[in-house]
Amino acid sequence: MLKKFLVLVALSVPMTAIAAGKAKKEEPVVHLTDEQIYEQLQKFALVFDVARDSFVEEADEKKMLEAAMNGMLGALDPHSSYLSADDLKEFNDKSYGEFGGLGIQVTSDRGAIRVISPIDDTPAAKAGIKAGDYITSIDGELVFDMTLNQAVKKMKGRPGTKVKLTILSDGKDARDVTLKRAIIKVKSVKFDDKTIADADDDSNEKIGYIRISDFGATTAKEFRNAIEKLEKKNVIGYVIDVRNNPGGYLTAAIDVADAVLDGGEIVSTRGKDAADIERAMAKSGDMTGGKPIVVLINHGSASASEIVAGALQDNGRALVMGSQSFGKGSVQQQKPLGDGTAIHITIARYYTPSGRSIQNEGITPDVEVLQSKVETIERRESLYSEASFKNALKNENAKKKADKKSDDDEEVELSDEEKDAQDYQLQRGMDMVRAMSKLKTRAATCDGTSDEKPTDATDTLKKLENKKK
C-alpha cells in the first residue's frame, strides 16, 4: 500500500497546464557544482540586500523572501508552491471539510482568474457561477495585476460580508455578481435513489446516484455510507458522478475505488528513481455485490477523479461515460518546515492499473457523451386542428383554459426531477446502468445461474458501443 503520509492530488489545477506541457520543448537538465550553487546563493543574498536598501518605499522582507521561495518552487511545475502559516491552515481547513469564503475553486489563466469548479450548495454555486467562467475584477479592482493568492485572499472575508465579482462567461457579456461570504462546510458526497419507470414491465427500478464533488478527508467514509443506504433500497446499479471534481486526497480516491472493487490494482505511483514504484491494491469485497456502475466524467474531472475513473475502467468494473477528463497525473506531498509553514511539492507521477499515464492526456471515456440540451421540436398546440376551421364551435371552457395557460406560463423553480431530466449526461448514464443490469440478468438466466461475473455486462456493452462507432 502507499505510504501513510499526507499525499494530495492537487485541489487547484491550473487550466493552462496542458497547453504549457505540450508547447514546452524538453531540454536536458544541466546540474551545477556545489561551488556554483554557493555562488548563486551569494548572488541571491546580494540581490536581496540591494533591493531592500534601494527600493523607493520601505521593503517588506518577509514578503520578498516568501515570493522568492514561491518563484523557486513554481519554476519546477504548476503544482509546487510554498505555503505560509496562513496558507497551510487554509489548505488543511479546506481539505478537512470546513473553511470560509465563497465556495469556489479557481486558478490563474492568462492574467485572469478562471473558475475550476464551484462547490455544490455554496454562494458561488447558487449565484450560477460555472466551471470555465472568468473572474475579471473583485470589488471593482481588476485582477490582472494580482497573483492567484492575492485574488483568493481578496475574495475571502468575514462571513456575512459581501463581495462583488465581475464574471465573464463564454459567449456572453460580462456581468456583476454580488455574493455573501459564508462558512463553507463541504460535504463531498451526495446521494439519492432515482426511480425510472420501465416501459417493458411497468415496474419502477431504482438507480443509486452518488455525486462526489471533491476528495477530502471524509470522502471515503461518506461514500461507503452512501452505498450502505442505497443498497437497502435495492438499487439495480450506480451512477458515480465526478464531473467538475478537481481532485483532493490520493488516499481518498484509493479508498473510494476499493469500496467497489473486489481485488486488483487501483493505482501506482512512480517517483524520480526508476525503482521507486508503489502500488495500491484493492482488498477483497465489493460493497455493491457486483452491480453495474457508470462513472460520469468531463473536462473538469481531474487528479483523484481520474484515478477512480481509470481504476474502475481498467479493471472492467465500470463503464466510463462523458467527455475527456482534464489530464493531471502528478502527486503532491506537504513537507512541513517545522515553523508552521510547509512546501507543497510534486513527488511522483501516477499510473492507472494498465500502466497508462494520464498526464496531459486524461481519461478517455468508453462512451463519449457530450453535455447536450434536448430541444422541443413539437409545438404545445398545433396550428392545424379543429380550432383552425372557420365557424368551428367554441369550447365553453375556453376562457378557463386561457386563464390556466397564463398561470402555467409563470416562471417556476425546477424540481430535482426536472433538473435531472435536463442533465443529458446523467440521463444517458442511468439508461446505461439499466441496460447493463438487464443484460446481466438475461445472461444469468440463459446460463441457469445467478453468479454471473460483474464485468460481463460492462464488457458486452463496450463491444456494442464500439460496433456503433
Give the Å distances, CA to CA, from 75 to 82, 165, 174, 208, 346.
Answer: 12, 30, 33, 44, 12
| Structure-block grid coordinates of residue 97 | 471539510
3-class secondary structure per residue, 285-308: CCCCCCCCEEEEECCCCCCHHHHH
| Structure-block grid coordinates of residue 374 | 434536448
What lies within 8 Å, CB to CB, of 59 at 6+ separation is: 51, 52
| Structure-block grid coordinates of residue 236 | 439495480
Specify whether the CB–CB gap between 424 and 373 falls below 8 A. Answer: yes
Identify the DSSP state of 357.
B
Q: How far apart are the C-alpha atoms of 375 and 67, rounded to whole Å?
A: 51
- Enumerate long-range contacts of 369-373, CB under 8 Å, 24 or more apart: 369/321, 369/322, 369/323, 369/424, 369/425, 369/428, 369/429, 370/323, 370/425, 371/298, 371/323, 371/423, 371/424, 371/425, 372/424, 373/422, 373/424
CA 431-432-436 angle, to 5 degrees, is 120
- Whether 382 is a known active-site residue: answer no
Given 108, 117, 303, 330, the catalytic residue? 303
- Whether 188 is a known active-site residue: answer no
Q: How far apart are the C-alpha atoms of 38 and 36, rounded to whole Å?
A: 5
Q: How far apart are the C-alpha atoms of 4 and 220, rounded to whole Å?
A: 15
Specify whether the CB–CB gap between 325 and 306 falls below 8 A. Answer: yes
Given 87, 133, 286, 314, the catalytic residue? 314
143-155 b/e with 16+ CB inside 10 Å = b?
beebebbebbbeb
| Structure-block grid coordinates of residue 435 | 441496460
Given 328, 330, 366, 440, the catalytic residue? 328
Q: How far apart are the C-alpha atoms of 90 and 421, rounded to whole Å?
A: 37
- Whether 262 is a known active-site residue: answer no
What lies within 8 Å, CB to CB, of 42 at 6+ separation is: none
3-state secondary structure of 105: strand
* Nearest of 165, 166, 243 to residue 209 by alpha carbon: 243
Specify whether the CB–CB gap between 247 and 303 falls below 8 A. Answer: yes
Residues with a known catalytic role = 303, 314, 328
